[in-house]
Structure 1
Amino acid sequence: MMSRNPDQYGNGWPRMKTFGLAVAVIVVSACAVAVADQITLKTGDVLIGEVTERSDDHVRLEHPVLGSLAIPAEQVASVAVDATGQAPVVESPAGQVEAAQVGDKAESSAKPQAARTPKRRLLFAGWDASLEIGINGSQGNSETLNARVAFNAAKEDDLHRWKIAASYHTATSGGDATRNESMAGLTKDWLLPGSLWFYFAAGRIDIDEFESWDFRLSGTGGIGLELVNRGDLEARVRAGLGGRAEFGGDADDKIKPEASLGGELVWQINDRQQLSISSTVYPELAELGELRITLAVDWQLKIDQADDISLKVGLKNEYESGTEGDAEHNDLKYYLMLLHGF
């Protein structure tokens, strides 16, 4: 990646933009208070998540850890749905409905276990969302500080799959900034029921104080294929066409057409561990031989099941074939984060 002196373009301006994005991410995440519906099984177990479908045969629950669960109706003792923020409505399999009074418990054929009281979510209701924070530093002959905050949200139904990601990363050494960057991206998949194929569109904005550009906009769209889609493993590939444009600094402000070819894998190793890998190649169409390659690897370890807190270790790298001077071709970042899901 090509580097430049931030003083050449003014220290404050890019930093204010990245700081503003970081504040926006934190505000959005802070507003998302946990909410959930509650299913009590005849065994006495209680499942908390979002009820997305109910029929005579089954009840479908989106669980923050286990994913989408189709529970046979004969195994369900009661369903408590908190759709209005008021007292939940409790339904039995026989179809009897009654309003739950404050302090009352939903009647069940088996003794229910204690469950956490669900709270109403103001934003991203029905999404699997998380806030990640990582800070480290040292003080001695020189002072260093490295901070990273990220927000991720995902949602899927029979026809659509959404993924939102945003992050802010800053680092200083000896009082001087060495990294100041932020990004926000959105990926939308249009699913085809009964088919392994799907369509997709993705867009992203990057702001980096230490690049030859100030802003970079990129987008792509095309077709994808589900290779594996089961409870513990998901794998898919994508191919599309798009482009990128870089503005500010030494950038030429021109749109550069790109193709895209990538893949992603999510492996739920067990109920506490998850591994995710994604990589995309972006060959330039106007200049053959020039390309970008992105890679992300993340491993999560659940350390608190009740509060959905995990430890996350990962790395991200972006390779650019076209660099100038002594600039590195790779921009590698690795991190240790504390993740709170909601």
Structure 2
Amino acid sequence: MVWRGLVVGVFVVLAAGQAVGQISSPPPVALHASSGTPLSETFTPSTLFPTNNAKSSTTAIPPPVLPDEPGAGPDGGLFPTPAPLPKLWSGSVEAGLNGASGNSDLLNFRGGWNVRRKSEDNILTSDFLYVYQNENGSTNAQQALLNSRDEILFPHSKWTIFFANQVEYDELRAYRFRVGVYSGLGYTWYDDKTTTFRTRVGAGAVRELGVDGTGDRWTSEMLYGYDFRYKINAHMSVISILDLYPRIGDWGQFRLRARAAYEYVIDPDTGTVLRTGIQDRYDSDPGNAKRNDLTFFTTLGIKF
């Protein structure tokens, strides 16, 4: 029994040694890791990431060609340059001065401005004028006149609806201030790059403030007027504006405001303009002043 047990033990030891030797022996073909590096090699950057000098068979995809559309940016890219906004505001500021000192002391000043805002459905205009004349210490004229008009435009129509007001100051008249409000219809006959001619008709009321010896009063008036402008060339233009205010119920009483001028653009880059013309203010009931007040003027201004 003892001998049989020794034989079995020796057989088990020999069998186990042979199995261990087979497991520890490397296989005839080396296994590779998923990265392509043999398991038996040392892991280094060159073995983990081998350099492949062969050209790739995949064709590189060229960058997309960006469209070259009207209004695109300088590089024809997808970010076009925005179109410039339309110019809404225009107008001018002007002033003129002359005087003398010695045998006679004379000072004449004239200044004002006019602005215009035009959009697709609205035109807003406003102008202001101030005149001062002094001779030998005596004031011959001190006047101020402010006009504004707001017009509503209709699509595909030459007709407009307007609302207007006027504020007038005159130191030498029986009144100090005259305020008027009006509304009515306007019609555009021509409006292009060279010629503008527009007429208007309406009605309203005017009130004189600070009347000597009497109280303030409202008076009903009609309104007839026109605006005319003709551009001769890039430098020269002529303008004419007239407003007639006949009194309702007494057509013999009326007021007239008229202006005509020639303007020459001296420098288009800066908008410097020379303007010369005449202005007439007529009142059939002026109180203690003359009915007609005609002035000639030459001013230098800036257009914008």
* TM-score when normalising by structure 1: 0.63
Q: Is the 8 A contact 2:278 2:297 kept in 1?
A: yes
Distance across 2 between alignment mates of 1:268 and 1:258 = 33
Q: Which runs of 4+ in 1 moved over 2 A?
A: 91-95, 322-325
Q: Deviations over 1:209-256 (max 9, x none)?
A: 111101110121100111111110010110001111101142641110
Structure 1 stretches lacking a partner, 5+ long = 1-72, 79-90, 100-124
Higher relative contact order (Cα pairs below 8 Å, separated by 6+ residues): 1
Matched, 1:264 2:227: yes
Identity of aligned residues (%): 24
**For the structure 1 residues 249 and 96, does the alpha-carbon distance in structure 2 shift closer, same or farther, using more than 3 Å as the test?**
same
Alignment partner, residue 176 of structure 1: 138
**For the structure 1 residues 159 and 93, does the alpha-carbon distance in structure 2 shift closer, same or farther, using more than 3 Å as the test?**
farther
Identify which of 308, 317, 327 aligns with 2:271.
308
Structure 2 stretches lacking a partner, 5+ long = 1-68
Alignment partner, residue 25 of structure 2: none
* TM-score when normalising by structure 2: 0.71
Matched, 1:226 2:209: no
Q: Is the 8 A contact 1:256 1:286 kept in 2?
A: no
Matched, 1:200 2:193: no
SS of the residue corresponding to residue 288 of structure 1 reads strand
Distance across 1 between alignment mates of 2:224 and 2:107 = 36
**For the structure 1 residues 179 and 148, does the alpha-carbon distance in structure 2 shift closer, same or farther, using more than 3 Å as the test?**
same
> Over alpha carbons, which structure has the higher Rg?
2
Alignment partner, residue 296 of structure 1: 259
Distance across 2 between alignment mates of 1:280 and 1:237 = 10
Alignment of 1:1-342 (within 5 A): 96-97=79-80, 126-250=88-212, 252-324=215-287, 327-342=289-304
User: 1:328: Cα distance to partner?
Assistant: 2.1
Amino acid at match of 2:254: L
Distance across 2 between alignment mates of 1:165 and 1:210 = 22
User: 1:98: Cα distance to partner?
Assistant: 7.6
Q: Deviations over 1:131-181 (max 9, x none)?
A: 111001122311101011111110111100011111221111012221112
**For the structure 1 residues 271 and 286, does the alpha-carbon distance in structure 2 shift closer, same or farther, using more than 3 Å as the test?**
same
Distance across 2 between alignment mates of 1:95 and 1:282 = 59
Amino acid at match of 1:223: L
Distance across 2 between alignment mates of 1:230 and 1:147 = 34
RMSD: 2.3
Distance across 2 between alignment mates of 1:339 and 1:253 = 37
Distance across 2 between alignment mates of 1:196 and 1:243 = 26
